[in-house]
Amino acid sequence: QVSVTTLSGRELASISAEFSWTRKEVCSQIPALEGPLSRAAMFLYRGALLSDDTTLQALGVEDGASLQVVIDGHAAELCVTASNDDTARVWRIESGECLLTR
């Protein structure tokens, strides 16, 4: 089991990860990172970056570890925002159009 959290500590997912997984496999297990966000998602473990060429095992990730997810705004086509009233919105970065509100 590996936990995936935001930088603020909110858990996005708890996944049964294989230690041979790279960034792409981790992304594929997190519904919140589907589509364009999957290309922009980066994962950190103890300050080290999980890339498409690096495995969880190579970073020293163990059962029960926590990965932090960061979205590279330069690579993303969309931006997700959240507010204190539990409203989340998905925005198209180029146009500023709100695509989804939940």
Q: Is 79:93 a contact under the CB 8 Å cutoff?
A: yes
Confidence at residue 20, expressed as pLDDT on a 0 to 100 scale: 97
Give me the mean pLDDT over the 24-33 stretch: 90
pTM over 0.85: no
Distance CA 85, CA 35 (A): 26
Confidence at residue 80, expressed as pLDDT on a 0 to 100 scale: 78
Confidence at residue 97, expressed as pLDDT on a 0 to 100 scale: 81
If you ran DSSP here, which 8-state letter would residue 36 be given? H
Of 72, 73, 67, which Cα lies nearest the Cα of 54?
A: 67
Confidence at residue 55, expressed as pLDDT on a 0 to 100 scale: 96
Q: Per residue in 35-90, pLDDT tens?
A: 777 878 889 898 898 989 999 999 999 999 999 888 776 665 777 777 777 788 88
Distance CA 76, CA 97 (A): 14
| Distance from chain centroid for Cα 39 | 10
